[in-house]
Structure 1
Amino acid sequence: MSLPTSSRNPPAFVLVHGAWNGGWCWSRVAPLLRQAGHAVFTPTCTGMGERSHLLNNEIGPSTFIQDVINQIVWEDLHEVILVGHSFAGVIISGVADRIPERLKHLVYLDAFILESGVSTMDTLSEENQDRLKAAVDEAGGTVPVLPPPRPKSLNIIEPDDVAFVLDRLTPQPFRSYVEAVTLSNPHGNGIPAHYLHCTEPAFAAVAESDAWAQENTDWIRLPLAASHCAMVTAPTLLANTLLHIASEAE
């Protein structure tokens, strides 16, 4: 399948990674979007990926939101298509809340949608909360972190895909899971949005967010025949989907 192209100046993509990842996770998708003429930015949040040396006790979701805002402002980007995977649904909601004038479209890729004042930890069962707290305690260290999960638990199972992520996943600052983001506006802040629901298989952790997207008549929900980490396991399918969203948004 060939990638769609446009004769107009296409909008820039800013692709935001989820928990335990970094900007590196988009390296299979970004070239395909650039091939179609888009500028693409893949910021890595503070304390993650190649910025893991900056890990500290002050890092929370507001830090990650500011990371993305700074990328957009310092690059002087406008009419951005902002994409957030998984945990980054929280981040792009925060960015949309603060700088809606810079954004053209939002894409939630199998992502969390949390009510204002609700943390990721608040959405988990008591059993899962206890399990995560135990993992933090076991990890030790001066900064509380969630150790990276096994790739299989993220539905990454093909040997090449496992090898790609295995040594790149980094611990997640625990504060980013237990600290809530306060939004001043409804989710999306009036910006057109798509929710991409990965179906092969469905990822249980985002089931409530997917249900919310289905009930929100202002958003477009699309199934994506890929596993949760589609940017790793189905990059061409994801790139094509993002490019079609971009063409519809023009």
Structure 2
Amino acid sequence: MQRRHLFAAGIAAASLVQPLRAAGPADKPAFVLVHGAWHGGWCWTRVASQLRAAGHAVYTPTLTGLGERRHLLSPQVNLDTHIDDVVNLLDFEELENVVLVGHSYAGIVISGVADRARARLRQLVFLDALLLEPGKSLFSDFPQAVVDQRLKTIRETGAGVGAAPALPPSAFGVKDPTDAAWVQRHMTPQPVGTYLQPLQLKAPLGNSLPKTYIECTADPIATLEPTKARVRADAGWRTRTLATGHDAMVIAPGPLSDLLRELAA
């Protein structure tokens, strides 16, 4: 009798630790929200809570070397590291039917993820994000003056591991003093390898997945203009706009959450 009770208890306990799966095709899709440079999963807190309240599974990974994973910062962290971070999340959480959202720098990351893990994805959303041609790096597309300044700053303040110090919150359109203080407290240096390593893709950008570009129209960032021009010229993109600054997840979480839900419907 005691053995039967123990066996039943073991089954009950096992049921509590089954992996949390994303919703199936007939249910609400899951969201994986990937942050940009200097940020971490923390920046999606407001959006994630609203999407979860609407019944979606939401994941907000922090990329290696950033945010609460800043202790992992090293010269070896590069673009492939961050692509692997997200691919491994999809695999280990056994996610399917995922709306994969990439903000800013993470537009490059989710481009790589789509190339490697297409079967787990439903669509791609690029939030005021960067795009790269295969074989190019972030520094390949930046103006030379910007590259020179970034490298100079990294040499002077890179803490010996090759990292770019964060820009002020105002550079991301965050003007509210309380929000700016919150963002400032949480931003961490960006691994220089993410600037230097070229993006390698086997399939065309997006790997045939539906893709949407959300442009944040307030306080536009100059380094994003070539990407936005490329998107406007390509009929394969669905485009939306938000009248907010670059860090829309901080500045306008309600409108952004509503738009993401609309796109996922």
Using the size of structure 2 for normalisation, the TM-score is: 0.89
- More deviation in 133-142 or 42-51? 133-142
Count of residue pairs the alignment pairs up: 240
Equivalent position to 1:123, from 141, 149, 171: 141
Distance in structure 2 (CA, Å) of the matches to 1:140 and 1:69: 28
Which range moved further: 190-199 or 133-142?
A: 133-142
Moved over 6 A (4+): none
The code of the aligned residue for 2:196 comes to V
Q: 1:73 aligns with which of 60, 81, 91?
A: 91
Tell me the alpha carbon deviations over residues 71-104 of structure 1, each in whole angstroms, 9 at most, x when there is no partner. 1111100010000000000000000011111100
2:77: which partner in 1? 59
Letter in 1 for 2:210: P
Q: Following the alignment from structure 2 to structure 1, what is the Cα–Cα distance between the partners of residues 221 and 256?
A: 16
TM-fit CA distance, 1:201: 2.2
* One-letter amino acid of the counterpart of residue 110, structure 1: D
Sequence identity (%): 44
1:145 lines up with 2:163 in the alignment: yes
1:166-220, Cα deviation, whole Å (9 max, x unpaired): 1100000011111111111111010001000000122222111111111221110
Unaligned runs of 5+ in 2: 1-25
1:45 aligns to 2:96 (yes or no): no
Aligned-CA RMSD value: 0.9
Equivalent residue of 1:166, what SS? helix
2:179 to 156, 161, 164: 161
Distance apart, 1:141 and its partner CA: 2.6
1:158 Cα deviation (Å)? 1.0
Find the residue that maps to 1:184 and give its secondary structure.
coil
Letter of the structure 1 residue corresponding to residue 211 of structure 2: A
Q: Which has the larger radius of gyration?
A: 2
Partner residue in 1 for 2:219: 201
The answer for unaligned runs of 5 or more in structure 1 is 1-7
8 A Cα contact 2:158 2:164, kept in partner: no
Paired letter, 2:82: F
Instruction: Give 1:92's aligned amino acid.
Output: I
